[in-house]
Amino acid sequence: MPHTSHNPTTNQILQTHASWDTPRLEQALEKTHRAQQAWAQTPFTQRAKVLRDVALHLHARRDRYATLITQEMGKPLRESRAEVEKCASVCDYYAQHGEEFMRAELVESDAGKSYIAHHPLGVVFAIMPWNFPFWQVFRATAPALMAGNTVALKHAPNVPQCALAIEAIFRECGLMEYVFTTLMIEVEQAADAIASPHVHAVTLTGSETAGRKVAACAGQHLKKCVLELGGSDPFIVLHDADMELAVNMAMASRFMNCGQSCIAAKRFIVVPQIADEFLLRFKTRVEALRLGDPLDDATQIGPMARLDLRDALHRQVTDSIAQGAVAVTGCKPAQREGFFYQPSILDRVTASTCAWHEELFGPVAIIIRAADEQDALRIANETRFGLGSSIWSRDTVRAERLATQIHAGCIFINGMVKSDPRLPFGGVKASGYGRELSRLGMLEFVNAKTVWIR
């Protein structure tokens, strides 16, 4: 089956790429393995130079790549520009700090000298999603390359142009052939890649279902695996929250990228004292969002990335309404060409509705009314997911104390959940395991080797 690039704004086919057969996949992985053996011997200064050159390249051609992202998966152009800039920042970060992160750690023991050395694992097979088609790839690739690994990318089948553009960027910036390579393979061939003796570790950003399959396959072949999966992040608004700040950040966190983000705020948990005020302010802002052509800088909400995703979201919304949730605004597809869905709010969401339990991956916010502060914490944790979370309160000391009770990979107090190269990123429970970014993310794909000298 070919990799087909559609414009979700018009549903027109942009480009089609043939899928690889098994011999071509095996040949590419073997070459990527051989390239890694040479890349691992290059000095950190050379690796850092490649990453810095990539960062400069991204800055210089930002608008070109932003347009490609927007045309292929639909996010507003201004958000695509920010995505490209963020990719440059993660390259600069690891170029600056990667050698330090890999430095051997002296450890006192019964030896004359003992230390922990960090060596690359080999080939990292990266399975990446469509929602941030540049950022997700660079987030995983920059630390892996700086550590001395090579990367074989299986990108989402609806963003093949982005995948090939990223490979071309690395080649143009001096990276040796096959140190980063794009594999045009089907979902079913991912298991063959994981099983290959030329692959040594796997990183996946994707759905919970995909994560379970990849984890099982990686476990069967004893391959290191990092999973960054779905989320249903709680956004807890307490009685003393700065309401203007909370609503502003609620808008950004829920509706950026048309709500198609694993760390978007998805469950707005509000206490009785402020529930009606929050909903009124939120509704006013949501109804003012400008939906339209994502190539227009005035557009705030573009199309969803695929028709099947929009239809699945609408089924979740209609099922939740039938189960007792209240449609406040939107809650239906937009009547226009392309895969658009109206910015929406569901109120009175309870445990009897599917919106309570499932991740809504699109521009739909759900309001859950808690009885009190402790009930809000209970609701926040009553999910199989555990990626991000946020608490909104003017009493930051109390909020920090409450944060210790949230079961998630990160907690933001009076701030929108985001990924930052300086901080580890990842989840718990059904949101996956392992960490990306920071020093911890870089060390996920190294051999921490003990060296003991008498």
- Specify whether the CB–CB gap between 3 and 19 falls below 8 A: yes
SS3 letters across 305-330: CCHHHHHHHHHHHHHHHHCCCEEEEC
What is the C-alpha separation between 147 and 49, in angstroms, rounded? 14
Q: Tell me which of 87, 162, 225, 262 is the catalytic residue.
A: 262
* Segments in 19-127 forming alpha helices (H): 22-39, 44-60, 62-73, 77-101
Q: Among this protein's residues, is 228 annotated catalytic?
A: yes
Which residues make beta-bridge pairs with 345? 329, 365
Task: Note the pLDDT of residue 142.
Answer: 98
Is residue 67 helix, strand or coil?
helix
Over residues 428-450, the pLDDT tens digits come to: 999 999 999 999 999 999 999 99
Angle at 93 between CA 435 and CA 421, to 5 degrees: 35
What is the C-alpha separation between 176 and 16, in angstroms, rounded? 27
What is the C-alpha separation between 184 and 106, in angstroms, rounded? 43
Structural tokens at position 58: 């991204």
Predicted TM-score of the model (pTM): 0.97
Task: Note the pLDDT of residue 2.
Answer: 83
Domains of the chain: 3-229+428-453 (3.40.605.10), 233-413 (3.40.309.10)
Over residues 240-285, the pLDDT tens digits come to: 999 999 999 999 999 999 999 999 999 999 999 999 999 999 999 9
Q: Among this protein's residues, is 262 annotated catalytic?
A: yes
**C-alpha of 156 from chain center:** 13
**C-alpha of 297 from chain center:** 24
List of the chain residues with pLDDT < 70: none
Task: Note the pLDDT of residue 1.
Answer: 75
Task: Note the pLDDT of residue 95.
Answer: 98
Task: Please choose, from the candidates 20, 27, 78, 89, the residue with its C-alpha nearest in 3D space to the C-alpha of residue 55.
Answer: 89
Q: Tell me which of 72, 79, 83, 228 is the catalytic residue.
A: 228
Angle at 80 between CA 433 and CA 56, to 5 degrees: 90
Structural tokens at position 241: 């929250």
